[in-house]
Amino acid sequence: MEDYQKNESDWTVVDAFTNEIYARLAQIALDKENIESRIQDSYLVSVQPLFSQAVGGVKLLVKETDESQAKIILQQYHESEMRAAKEAESQCPYCGAGHVRRLELPGWQWLFIVATLGIGGLIFYKKFECPHCGHRW
Ligand SMILES: [Zn+2]
């Protein structure tokens, strides 16, 4: 029990996520660099997602000795995730062609969608068009 207590104090939170999947993905990034990590509060958050905010999300912990290195790895991980998200946006998911066109939504269409479907209706709005195959998403 004493050893357990001692070990507990050696762990520190380096990141927090809104759900366990994101936390697990970041954990994989740390695993690749041989940094041991743990996930905390995932049970509570998955049972009641509303608790996610209250407990500060699903936390990723590393040993205090790995803290600075883990933070660098996680920063690189988040940057590469953002790059990947941007690339996915600028590439046709149907044929894989690049140089897709961003569709501008005319004001009246925007008003129509919001008036009929509510603000949530905007998620159905197609934002890009592929000049190669015509696919819209
Ligand atoms: Zn296409």
Question: For the stretch 53-87, what's the b/e string if a residue is b when 16 or more beta carbons lie within 10 angstroms of its beta carbon?
Answer: eeeebbbbbbeeebbeebeebbeebeeeeeeeeee
Residue type, 79: E
Same domain, 22 and 57: yes
Q: How far is the CA of 102 from the centre of ligand 1 (A)?
A: 13
Same domain, residue pair 133 and 115? yes
Give tens-digit pLDDT for 40-51: 887 666 666 666
- 39 and 72, same structural domain? yes
Amino acid identity, residue 59? K
Domain housing 68? 2-89
Q: What is this structure's pTM?
A: 0.58
Cα(96) to centroid of ligand 1, in Å?
6
> Which pLDDT value is given to residue 60?
95
- Residues 101 and 44 grouped into a single domain: no
CA of 94 to the centre of ligand 1 (A): 5
Residues 9 and 70 in one domain: yes
Structurally, the chain folds into a number of domains equal to: 2
Query: Quick one: how far is CA 22 from the chain centroid?
Result: 5
Q: Of 69, 89, 109, which residue constitutes the final position of a domain?
A: 89
Ligand 1 centroid to Cα of residue 129, in Å, is 8
Same domain, 128 and 82: no
Residues 49, 102: one domain? no
Pairing of strands 128-129, 101-102: antiparallel
Integer angstrom CA distances of residue 60 from 33, 44, 48, 101: 15, 14, 18, 38
**12 band by pLDDT with thresholds 50, 70 and 90:** very high
CB 39 within 8 A of CB 20: yes
Q: Are residues 56 and 39 in the same domain?
A: yes
**Confidence (pLDDT) at 53:** 62
Does 95 lie in the same domain as 44?
no
Same-domain pairing of 85 and 98: no
* Out of 32-41, 48-57, 74-83, least confident range: 48-57
Distance from residue 62's CA to the centre of ligand 1 (Å): 43
Q: How far is the CA of 131 from the centre of ligand 1 (A)?
A: 7
93 CA to centre of ligand 1 in angstroms? 7
